[in-house]
Amino acid sequence: MGIRESNPQDALVLEGDEHLPLYRRLYLTIAKRIANGEWRPGDALPAELDLAKQYGVAPGTIRKAIDELVDDGLIERRHGSGTFIRRPNFDNMMVRFFLFRDPAGNMIMPESHIVSREIVPASADVAANLKMREGDDVIKVTRHRHWEGQARLLEDIFLPPARFRAILSHTPEEIGPLLYPAYERLCGQLVCFIEEEISITDVSPDDAGLLKLGSDDLVVAIERLAKDASGHPMEWRISRGEARRFRYKINVS
């Protein structure tokens, strides 16, 4: 006879619809606790048996939820040490699209320049991606990436104020060249998943001037949606760079 799930009255409440499998509700519950900052990167999760008692479920149910969280990169098992919240690393991902090298063939890392930060009304596209209402306040960060002293990549970044208002009050030096570590350090927000869509489009007059392109040139536009551990959108950005410089590099194993 298999182990029956227990459901003591003092068990912690599970997230998700009651018709979902218990392991899936546990996945959603742990992911929400990570998204809320209750567990931070590097923190150890309680032992599986302890979690099973807390939530009133069988150890096998906890193990299946943990397995899926590991597969999705939210947590990691360390042999002999336990299970820990993992910090995803998306640093300089844009470099894989626009590879700049010096005459010796060495990769040139871009310089990051925050041009402006302001509160603006959310456009239809911004609202749809961030799951907010059109016209609601949204933080817009304009950032340029420079190689060899010239703007090569233009970025418009949109953030919900409720989660990222601190970005408005810190200096560019305090924010630093990488935004995702700044989100975690200054705002307590951890980016766990990203989705990207790439398209090629005509350059706009404003972008042509900044990128020093002709009016008939093309740019590569990269739309990125960043999400927290629960899968809720937390950042939407549009990056544009010269199409002739576009290269895509990825290692698949």
What is the per-residue pLDDT for 168?
96
Q: List the single range of 106-110, 162-166, 225-229 with lowest mean pLDDT.
A: 106-110
Task: Give me the mean pLDDT over the 104-115 stretch.
Answer: 83
Residue 10: what pLDDT? 55
Predicted confidence at residue 144, as pLDDT, reads 96
Task: Inform me whether the pLDDT recorded for 8 exceeds 50.
Answer: no
Q: Confidence band (pLDDT; 50, 70, 90) for 95?
A: low
Give residue limits of the domains in the chain: 22-85, 93-245
* pLDDT digits 0-9 by tens, 144-153: 999 888 999 9
Closest CA relative to residue 126, chosen from 167, 161, 99: 161
What is the reported pLDDT for 222?
93
Task: Look at the domain 22-85 and name its fold.
Answer: Arc Repressor Mutant, subunit A (1.10.10)
Q: What is the pLDDT of residue 4?
A: 39
- pLDDT, residue 3, reads 35
**pLDDT of 25 above 60:** yes
Query: Residue 161: left (phi > 0), alpha (psi -120 to 50), or beta?
Result: alpha
The residue-averaged pLDDT of 50-76 equals 92
Mapping DSSP onto H, E and C, the string for 136-178 reads CEEEEEEEEEEECCEEEEEEEEEECHHHHCHHHHCCHHHHCCC
In the CATH hierarchy, which fold is given to the domain comprising 93-245? Chorismate lyase (3.40.1410)
Residue 31, amino acid: A
pLDDT of residue 17: 81
Dist. CA 132–CA 124, nearest whole Å: 9
Pairing of strands 233-242, 150-159: antiparallel
Structure confidence at residue 18 as a pLDDT band (50, 70, 90): confident
Of residues 201 and 244, more confidently modeled: 201
Contacts of 246 (CB under 8 A, 6+ apart): 97, 98, 220
